[in-house]
Structure 1
Amino acid sequence: MPTPPSTSTAVNEGEKDPPHAPATPTFLDVLEPDEHPQHLPTWRKWLIVIVISASSLCVTCASSLAAFAENGVSTEFHVGHTVSVLSISLFVEGLGLGPLIVGPLSEVYGRNPIYRISYGLFFAFTWPVAFAPNIATFLIFRFITGFCGSAFLSVAGGSISDLFSDSTVTNPMAFYTISPFLGPVVGPFIAGFINQHLNWRWTYYLVIIWSFGQFIALFFLVPETYVPVLQKAKARRFQLAGDVGEQKTQNDGIGVLRAIIVSCYTPFKLLLLDRMALLLDIWTSLILGILYLAFQAYPIIFQGGHGFNLQDTGLGFLGIGVGMVLGLLTQPYWNRFYKRTSVENGGVLPPEARLYMGQVGAICVPVGLFWLAFTTYPAVPWIVPVLASVPFGCGIYFVFTSTFTYLVTTYRPIAASAMAANSAMRSTFAAVFPLFAGAMYAKLGTVGATALLAGLTTLMAPLPFVFTRIGPRLRRQSRFAV
């Protein structure tokens, strides 16, 4: 990702650096301690993390809220069930494509303008969804709102790394990481109650109310944290831009266009030329696809097999959420493990150490799915399949936390592109899987269909074990890895 143009300027007119020498740093190149975001009070930094995480939770919650509004959409707009499922698929696809654009923009204009504009648009474009007169308007704006809300899946991690040093970033990053995955679980829980008692449009009225509250919180509680942008703001305050300001603005515009072009093709170049990144992205994409497929499978399992109503079916997703929270509670253990491993390696933590958490997740996910598969019979008490989703949810947290951290540390020079590639692929899987869920469960039954998904995750389970052993060799051979 290109860095913003330097704000260094010669202090004394006429003093110029020698040809090909680095620019002489000035007091503008270094922020004073009280100006640096990492020197904010701890309570203020955590308040920022909570607001950003809640905003991310709202966006991803909006993706799955639609699952329990599908019957109302089908009835009012006179369309088939598959068409109504597109309300999830298009939103999630927007979430996957948005980072290709907003990521580079945040590197030039800073985090705050991206947050405020994207969330303002997310709030504004949810109105046409809630008051859609026809299915075309409804689906088009579902995609647009997903695209606008994607900033909190690509930029938010950068804000947290801006606020915390390498030694203190683990806990806030873990807190943020769980929010995009907890959101899809919270969505059915909320939407089940709404659609059981109210018109389906209230699903989206809630999103309007919630997103407005988050927009206000972002506007007043989240400051700019990107250091290069803070440096440029400092230069403007001291009126040192002068005649160079117009040229820098022009260069910024060219830099943004170039950054967007690079951001669009580099992730796919990485997927095509680096099999390590490709396999890990397929693994996480498969798991996220299964999570979104559950929004179609759970009603089949619990409404069809156990006679649940909408709100009871929504409560069934709490097992996945409990599993994710349990995974988050193990973070102190992993922090100690990483610290011990770093000491054993001379103060350097190998990227492969992050995959030990992924190994635990690789076991938990298929165990939970096989448990769920063979307890979906109506004769089995409903609590048993709900409990089966606890290891599945815990495994999701372990897999994604370890994989994300591994990708960022392994492909550090192009970390943004590595995450964009993962985002684009996993969002595509999450968009497609719900579309064939109904047909698959009708053809194979609840046991066969769920066991098939469990078998696929079992086939992918050796990946973290293999990469833990041969990762250093693969990194040496890679064109992109450090």
Structure 2
Amino acid sequence: MTKPDEVPSESEAGVEAIDYDNPHNWSQSRKILSVVIFSFLASVSPLASTITAPALPDIGKDLAISSGPVLQFTLSIYALGYAFGPLVLAPMSEVYGRVWVAQLSGIWFLVFNLACAFVHSGGALLAMRFLAGLGSSTTLSVGSGVLADCYMPKKMGSAVAIYSLMPVVSPIAGPIIGGFVSQNTTWRWIFVVVSIWDALIQIVAFFFLRETYAPVIRARKLHGTWFAKPPIEGSQFRENLRRAGRSMRLLATKPLIQVLALHLGFLNGISYIMSSTFPLVWSEVYHWSTEMGSLNYIALGIGAIIGAQVCTRVNDRVYAVLSARNNGVGSPDYRLPTMLAGTLIAPCGLLWYGWSAEEKLHWIMPDIGGAIYNAGFMTAYINVRIYVIEFYGASTAASAVAAVSFLQYLFGGLFPLFGTDILHSLGFGRTNSVLAGVSLGLGLLALGTLWKFGSRLREKSTENDKQPLN
């Protein structure tokens, strides 16, 4: 029997016979609980990614890492882990359910992240960081599947505003926490702190998180066991192989995925360069301590939060207006105006940030530039994800987001390797001018392709790769 607090209003259901196995028909409170828990699960990955940035000098001294690029790689190799992890694990959430995949990968992360606190060589740290990245990678992609499971397109923006809050805040809180922890204890405690945070969230999720993928819910109800999964044709082994390869097939064969992945990948690569080199601004330009310099990450967080919260609400309004003009029929293309705003704002922030640091203006000026960039980046990032979720639907959303995310995190893992050298060679102004120009060009190319050929590309998608939300 359905609990009273789980019964949606008649206006939400719209019919007398309600299918409670479909999360679209859950009550608003139950949907929000699932999204909030996944938001906290998704916060672990970006937190662990950036929290070591202020401690890199201490890590280099303790582990005898003298090479600058290798030291930067201890930070960015984590992003490589969650570039590759979702390609296999995200499609598995479309077989075994969102919760199983998210929590098992969270336990994997906990083991290898904690192991980072006990290593005694640079090679061991690189290996443990990569394996930890593999474990924490899935929640960001699987969380996109949860949004598609629970929400219709017209309410997707509001849902993303809730879901994105913790993943937006955590990468900014990471360097601040890392700066204070490493300054007052040792860098090893950084990994202990992250592991404790992950363990607490996993415990809460174990007791309160419910499965949201409708085919798995129905299978469990039919067979009366938590280990049930949707029926398949042929062998389970072949089905797992097919699912595991779905993300790579999308990335290799779908131009729509390719242009979005390239656009988002370059923006994320710049974001990682900014995060990893941000301490240089405060140590080399303004001569601040590690503790004081890490506080400037707050500016990046403010920009990201403003971008995420404003764009999701504006997105829903723009979508509603354009849908009304089209006789109430929505389209992923209605996400493009807001995506364009983010694409234009991000390069402006880069120019502001780079040249204010180059000219050694008041310390708040680079902060403002970084905040503007992060606001633009988050606007583009969120709209790309909503576009993909709406287009591919619940059955394929996790796989499609994993495909888009591959270049995003691949670039995030590789860009910091040369970021410091370029900054020292060209300076903050010229480096960020080049990055701003390339990001603007790639963004306009992606948006132009979607605007002109989006409907044609959608028509070419096969039913195996696309199941629209209805």
Which TM-score band applies after superposition, normalised by the shorter structure? 0.7 to 0.9
Is the Cα contact below 8 Å between 2:90 and 2:141 reproduced in 1? Answer: yes
Distance of 2:201 and 2:97 partners within structure 1: 19
Q: By how many angstroms is 1:401 displaced?
A: 1.5
Counterpart for residue 301 of structure 1: 281
1:148 aligns with 2:129: no
Return closer, same or farther for 1:206/1:269 CA change in 2, 3 Å cut-off. Answer: same
Counterpart for residue 253 of structure 1: 236
1:43 aligns with 2:26: no
Q: By how many angstroms is 1:186 displaced?
A: 2.1
Deviations 1:238-270 (A, max 9, x none): 9xx9xxx99969956225433344325403422
1:390 aligns with 2:376: no
TM-score (norm 2): 0.87
Q: By how many angstroms is 1:40 displaced?
A: 4.1
Matched ranges for 1:240-389 at <5 A: 251=234, 253-263=236-246, 265-270=248-253, 274-330=254-310, 331-377=312-358, 379-389=360-370
Q: Which amino acid aligns with 2:284?
A: G
Return closer, same or farther for 1:408/1:169 CA change in 2, 3 Å cut-off. Answer: closer
Instruction: Say which SS state the counterpart of residue 210 (structure 2) adopts.
Output: coil
Matched ranges for 1:330-479 at <5 A: 330=310, 331-377=312-358, 379-410=360-391, 415-463=397-445, 466-467=448-449, 469-472=451-454, 474-475=456-457, 478=460
Instruction: Say which SS state the counterpart of residue 357 (structure 2) adopts.
Output: coil
Is the Cα contact below 8 Å between 1:284 and 1:400 reproduced in 2? Answer: yes
Q: Which amino acid aligns with 1:439?
A: D
Return closer, same or farther for 1:262/1:458 CA change in 2, 3 Å cut-off. Answer: closer
1:99 aligns with 2:79: no
Q: By how many angstroms is 1:149 displaced?
A: 0.8
Distance of 2:408 and 2:117 partners within structure 1: 27
Distance of 1:296 and 1:88 partners within structure 2: 8
Is the Cα contact below 8 Å between 1:100 and 1:260 reproduced in 2? Answer: no
TM-score (norm 1): 0.85
Q: By how many angstroms is 1:334 displaced?
A: 2.4
Counterpart for residue 90 of structure 1: 77
1:66 aligns with 2:52: yes
Counterpart for residue 105 of structure 2: 118
The number of equivalent residue pairs is: 444
Identity %: 25
Distance of 1:334 and 1:178 partners within structure 2: 16
Is the Cα contact below 8 Å between 1:115 and 1:218 reproduced in 2? Answer: no
Structure 2 gap ranges (5+): 1-16
Distance of 1:48 and 1:409 partners within structure 2: 19
**Between 142-151 and 154-163, the greater mean CA deviation after superposition:** 154-163
Counterpart for residue 8 of structure 1: none
Q: Which amino acid aligns with 2:44?
A: C
Instruction: Say which SS state the counterpart of residue 368 (structure 1) adopts.
Output: helix
Q: By how many angstroms is 1:194 displaced?
A: 1.4
Return closer, same or farther for 1:471/1:409 CA change in 2, 3 Å cut-off. Answer: farther
Q: By how many angstroms is 1:384 displaced?
A: 1.0
1:55 aligns with 2:41: yes
1:187 aligns with 2:174: yes
Is the Cα contact below 8 Å between 2:44 and 2:194 reproduced in 1? Answer: yes
Two-structure CA RMSD over aligned residues (Å): 2.8
Q: By how many angstroms is 1:36 displaced?
A: 4.5
Q: By how many angstroms is 1:167 displaced?
A: 4.1
Q: By how many angstroms is 1:416 displaced?
A: 4.2
Q: Which amino acid aligns with 1:290?
A: I
Deviations 1:395-431 (A, max 9, x none): 0111112222223344558544432221111111000
Distance of 2:334 and 2:327 partners within structure 1: 14
Counterpart for residue 220 of structure 1: 207
Q: By how many angstroms is 1:107 displaced?
A: 1.2
